[in-house]
Chain A
Amino acid sequence: MTNENAKGRFGRFGGQYVPETLMPELNKMAAAYEEAKKDPEFQKEYADLLANYANRPSILYYAKNMTEDLGGAQVYLKREDLNHTGAHKINNVIGQVLLAKRMGKKRLIAETGAGQHGVATATIAALFGLECEVFMGKEDTDRQQLNVYRMELLGAKVHPVTSGTMTLKDAVNAALQDFAAHPEETFYVMGSATGPHPYPMMVRDFQSIISEESKAQILKKTGKLPDTIVACVGGGSNAIGSFANFIDDEGVQLIGVEAAGKGLHSQDTAATLELGQVGVFHGMKSVFLQNKSGQINPVYSISAGLDYPGVGPEHAALAETKRAEYVGITDDEAVAAFEYIAKQEGIVAAMESCHAIAYVQKLAPTMSKDQVIICTVSGRGDKDVAAVAKYQGVEINE
């Protein structure tokens, strides 16, 4: 699974396309991470926090009702929504903050889209008594007010970003700018498997706990490897974590589900790997939604965690080599899945995760009953309830 070379390349993707100001700090970070990775003390502390703070391992749940209803493959759900703070984001944040501590950093910054990564970073900052500032697009602070308040409650400072489209990409811009202005005292806790080296590799490693567990769990339950893994992709951190330990198992089909927004043929979409071109942005060579001149397109999805115009470089490489397949799910399909999984399984899943669920609804009936799908429920959907109600024309007072 480690196909990146020393400069952080996945095939032709990845790299470090950042201003010189950031290069010394990224090199220090990469070196510190290489050391930490080999240090049993670091690994022990990481494992201990996952088990005793984040509530790992997360369960692999057999979705009996969904399986029967869909009438095809057996559906298992990897329940990252049951982690502390309610999403997979905490796996990565614990790892990066331990590294920040090891490097003697006192100040954490983070970008956030839906707010899940910001909440996870604010949480671990509180746990370790570190200063924390979160950059979040103004559009997102408006549609995810509850998460803004949660971050503030945890002691973080939230900066609404008013440049550009005022969403996740602009939050990343602002965080990169802050990091460039204060590199020595700051650790930028990146939320997805995106950005310059070493982030895509590091985030992948910290999220690979998802498939490390799910592989052991499914072998125990069924005695064989699964047929298909399905996970949603914005930047792609829960998906790369869900894929990581299966990439070398060629018989296991890997499917990433992107947000098609109002449809792949509309302007309002975030389906990068279906519609994007190779480019360089946010420190990485990858695939981006952009125009002919190379300007980054505004993107759209109902889900604040998926409306990102790029994708992590390892996904770009997995798509190019066809090791993984990437598909799009629209807002309408995701909202229908939100309601479906709530009624079928009693699980209110994050709108991001519901993109993956919606694809499982299409895929499972085409497979046979002895086949197995593992779908990652990357987060819980409490944060989305008000937005879905609004989408369905229901007014509720929070």
Chain B
Amino acid sequence: MSKIQDALMGKKNFVAFVTANDPDLEATVENVVALAKGGADLVEIGIPFSDPVADGPVIQAADVRALKDPDLPIERIFEAVGKVREKTDVPLAFLVYFNIIVQYGYERFAADCAKYGIDGLIIPDLPTEEQGELRPYTDEENIDLISLVTTNSGERIPMIVEKAQGFVYLVSSLGVTGERTTFAKNLKEVVRDVKRNTELPVFIGFGIHSPEQAKEMAAIADGVIVGSACVAICEQYGKEAAPHLEAYAKEMVAAIRG
């Protein structure tokens, strides 16, 4: 069992997200540690990308802030992860668009994930069918490739979850990330279809921001993933976001675990 799966099995989980280098890498280290302190069960760190096609306006804006210098070396983000690891054991995953990994090199990227303490990768533009070229390298380093299932995946679900690792990321509704007031009507059925095919925990993400929504989603799945709402806090408080993120995580965890 992977570190992620081991840490997340058998309970209701809260997964939080921040974009690296928003507004700088010191803040990122503090923010990730604060989320862990607030009770987040896994923290996703977004590697900023020039063209985040799967993301909505809030995370797009964070990527723009994070890429004030578009030449920001990915090595510096790994070093920041190393600093997070000095302070917390919370499972960490990168949210990263595939081109970043292609340029860094598959083998070197997987090796640096292992070296600095990244446990999983969420790659929004790498569907299951295209995972093959990267998978040997991540498997070698015991890094989970986390698969996404959407509410229109339908008959693709068994094929996707058969190869899934860590947890299954269920996208709450079609479209991009960002706060929503309604979710797809068939979420319960999709969770059931996923669970019929795997023992991995199923987390619901995209659009969840309030404790009420988190409670509702956690009731039908094993946890919730909250991205844009965390990033909105980073946007509002800049370098002083850490205590606010910690308080938000506490509130969400309380709602989820009841």
Known: A24-B153, A180-B175, A293-B72. A18 touches B103 (CB 8 A): no
Which A residues touch B129, using CB under 8 A? 7, 16, 23
Question: How far is it, in angstroms, between the C-alpha of A294 and the C-alpha of B77 when the chains are bound?
Answer: 14
> Does B237 make an interface contact (CB < 8 A)?
no
Which B residues touch A130, using CB under 8 A? none
Hey, what's the 0/1 contact readout for A261-286 against B, CB within 8 Å counting as 1? 00000000000000001111111010
> Does A176 make an interface contact (CB < 8 A)?
yes
For B103, give its contact among A21, A180, A279 (CB under 8 Å): A279
Question: How far is it, in angstroms, between the C-alpha of A55 and the C-alpha of B81 when the chains are bound?
Answer: 60
> Does A164 make an interface contact (CB < 8 A)?
yes
Which A residues touch B126, using CB under 8 A? 17
Which B residues touch A32, using CB under 8 A? none
Which A residues touch B175, using CB under 8 A? 21, 177, 180-182
Which residues of B (122-166) have their CB < 8 Å from a CB of A?
Answer: 124-130, 147-150, 152-154, 156, 160
For A181, give its contact among B51, B104, B156, B176 (CB under 8 Å): B176
Hey, what's the 0/1 contact readout for B213-253 against A, CB within 8 Å counting as 1? 00000000000000000000000000000000000000000
Residue of A282, A293, A295 most packed against chain B (CB within 10 A): A293
Are A19 and B49 in contact, with the CB atoms below 8 A?
no
Question: How far is it, in angstroms, between the C-alpha of A184 and the C-alpha of B115 when the chains are bound?
Answer: 43
Which B residues touch A164, using CB under 8 A? 50-51
Are B51 and A296 in contact, with the CB atoms below 8 A?
yes
Are B102 and A294 in contact, with the CB atoms below 8 A?
yes
> Does A169 make an interface contact (CB < 8 A)?
yes
> Does A291 make an interface contact (CB < 8 A)?
yes
For A173, give its contact among B53, B73, B150 (CB under 8 Å): B53
For B99, give its contact among A163, A169, A281 (CB under 8 Å): A281
Which B residues touch A177, using CB under 8 A? 53, 175-176
Are A290 and B60 in contact, with the CB atoms below 8 A?
no
> Does B254 make an interface contact (CB < 8 A)?
no
Are A19 and B99 in contact, with the CB atoms below 8 A?
no
Question: From residue B94, how far is it (CB to closest CB) to chain A in Å?
Answer: 13
CB-nearest residue of chain A to B169 = A20
Are A16 and B67 in contact, with the CB atoms below 8 A?
no
Are B54 and A19 in contact, with the CB atoms below 8 A?
yes
Which residues of A (1-49) have their CB < 8 Å from a CB of B?
Answer: 7, 15-21, 23-25
> Does A57 make an interface contact (CB < 8 A)?
no
Known: A24-B152, A294-B103. A17 touches B51 (CB 8 A): no
Question: How far is it, in angstroms, between the C-alpha of A181 and the C-alpha of B103 when the chains are bound?
Answer: 29
Are B125 and A291 in contact, with the CB atoms below 8 A?
no
Known: A177-B176, A280-B102, A290-B103. A295 touches B127 (CB 8 A): no
Which B residues touch A20, using CB under 8 A? 127-128, 147-150, 153, 156, 160, 171
Number of residues from B at the complex interface, CB < 8 A: 40
CB-nearest residue of chain B to A17 = B125
Question: How far is it, in angstroms, between the C-alpha of A245 and the C-alpha of B129 when the chains are bound?
Answer: 31
Hey, what's the 0/1 contact readout for B177-203 against A, CB within 8 Å counting as 1? 000000000000000000000000000
Question: From residue A281, how far is it (CB to closest CB) to chain B in Å?
Answer: 5
Which A residues touch B86, using CB under 8 A? none
Which B residues touch A184, using CB under 8 A? 152
Question: How far is it, in angstroms, between the C-alpha of A357 and the C-alpha of B97 when the chains are bound?
Answer: 38
> Does A206 make an interface contact (CB < 8 A)?
no
User: Which bucket holds chain A's interface residue count?
Assistant: 35 or more
Which A residues touch B50, using CB under 8 A? 164, 295-296
Which residues of A (140-172) have their CB < 8 Å from a CB of B?
Answer: 163-164, 169-170
Question: How far is it, in angstroms, between the C-alpha of A177 and the C-alpha of B128 when the chains are bound?
Answer: 20
Are B99 and A290 in contact, with the CB atoms below 8 A?
yes
Question: From residue A139, how far is it (CB to closest CB) to chain B in Å?
Answer: 16
Are B51 and A169 in contact, with the CB atoms below 8 A?
yes
Are A19 and B103 in contact, with the CB atoms below 8 A?
no
Which B residues touch A281, using CB under 8 A? 51, 99
Question: How far is it, in angstroms, between the C-alpha of A169 and the C-alpha of B54 when the chains are bound?
Answer: 14
Question: How far is it, in angstroms, between the C-alpha of A290 and the C-alpha of B97 when the chains are bound?
Answer: 14
> Does A362 make an interface contact (CB < 8 A)?
no
> Does A183 make an interface contact (CB < 8 A)?
yes
> Does A288 make an interface contact (CB < 8 A)?
yes
Which A residues touch B49, using CB under 8 A? 294-295
Which B residues touch A16, using CB under 8 A? 127, 129-130
> Does A220 make an interface contact (CB < 8 A)?
no
> Does A292 make an interface contact (CB < 8 A)?
yes
Question: Beyond the given A18-B127, A183-B152, A280-B102, could you list 8 further A-B residue pairs with CB under 8 A, ordered by the A residue number?
Answer: A16-B130, A17-B130, A20-B147, A23-B156, A279-B102, A279-B103, A280-B125, A294-B102
Chain A residues engaging chain B, CB cutoff 8 angstroms:
7, 15-21, 23-25, 163-164, 169-170, 173, 176-177, 180-184, 277-283, 285, 288, 290-296
Chain B residues engaging chain A, CB cutoff 8 angstroms:
49-51, 53-54, 60, 67, 70-74, 97-104, 124-130, 147-150, 152-154, 156, 160, 171, 174-176
List 28 A-B pairs, Cβ < 8 Å. Answer: A16-B127, A17-B125, A17-B127, A18-B125, A18-B127, A19-B148, A20-B128, A20-B148, A20-B150, A21-B150, A21-B152, A21-B171, A21-B175, A24-B152, A25-B152, A177-B176, A180-B54, A180-B174, A181-B175, A182-B175, A183-B152, A281-B99, A288-B99, A292-B71, A293-B71, A294-B101, A296-B51, A296-B99
